């Protein structure tokens, strides 16, 4: 069976009309909505890319701001720590000075108390020695001066010494 292909102009015209009608219908009902949805999709993709670029720029700005804030916070922290150390050193120094002054006052008061007690003890010892000396002298003199000849001799020695001085 051999098919012979012959050109038929009527068939060609009908097929061309059908093709053009199909193109018209596709253009009116299919291509416009498809192209519109493709354009809408392209617009949304471009908008999303722009939004992503803006978000990236904003993130970079936020990151720079965070780094700046962190640097400023570190500088402020260092300043606060330095000030705290200075205050601590000043307070410790003042406390040491106050303690030294108070200690010097206590030492001076203790020295004065010791000297006062020493002087009182010395006065007491002198008084006791004086009393003891008088008692011893009295006792010795009583023994030596029991007789009148020893009394006369003691008075004579005393007068001789008095004249020499």
The alpha carbon torsion through 41, 44, 48, 49 (nearest 10 deg) reads 70
The alpha carbon torsion through 135, 141, 144, 149 (nearest 10 deg) reads -170
Which residue bears the tokens 């069976």?
A: 1
Which residues make Cβ contacts (< 8 Å) with residue 123, sequence separation at least 6?
Answer: none
Report how far residue 65's alpha carbon sits from residue 7's, in angstroms, rounded to the nearest whole number. 78
Task: Say what the pLDDT of residue 164 is.
Answer: 52
| pLDDT surpasses 50 at 81 | yes
What's the whole-number mean pLDDT along residues 28-40? 85
Helix axes 148-164, 32-144, angle to 10 degrees: 120
CA distances from 6 to 9, 12, 87 (A): 10, 11, 112
What percentage of the chain has pLDDT greater than the value 70?
Answer: 84
Please count the residues of the chain.
165
pTM above 0.75, yes or no: no
């Amino acid at each position: 069976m051999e098919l012979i292909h012959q050109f038929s102009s009527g068939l060609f015209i009908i097929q061309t009309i059908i093709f053009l009608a199909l193109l018209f219908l596709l253009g009116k009902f299919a291509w416009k909505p498809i192209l519109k949805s493709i354009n809408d999709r392209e617009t949304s993709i471009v908008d999303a890319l722009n939004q992503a670029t803006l978000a990236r720029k904003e993130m970079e700005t936020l990151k720079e701001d965070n780094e700046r804030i962190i640097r400023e916070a570190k500088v402020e922290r260092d300043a606060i720590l330095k000030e705290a150390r200075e205050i601590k050193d000043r307070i410790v120094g003042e406390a040491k000075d106050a303690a030294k002054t108070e200690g010097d006052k206590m030492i001076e008061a203790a020295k004065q108390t010791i000297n006062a007690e020493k002087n009182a003890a010395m006065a007491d010892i002198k008084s006791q020695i004086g009393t003891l000396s008088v008692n011893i002298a009295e006792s010795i003199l009583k023994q030596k001066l029991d007789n009148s000849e020893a009394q006369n001799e003691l008075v004579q020695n005393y007068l001789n010494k008095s004249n020499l001085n």
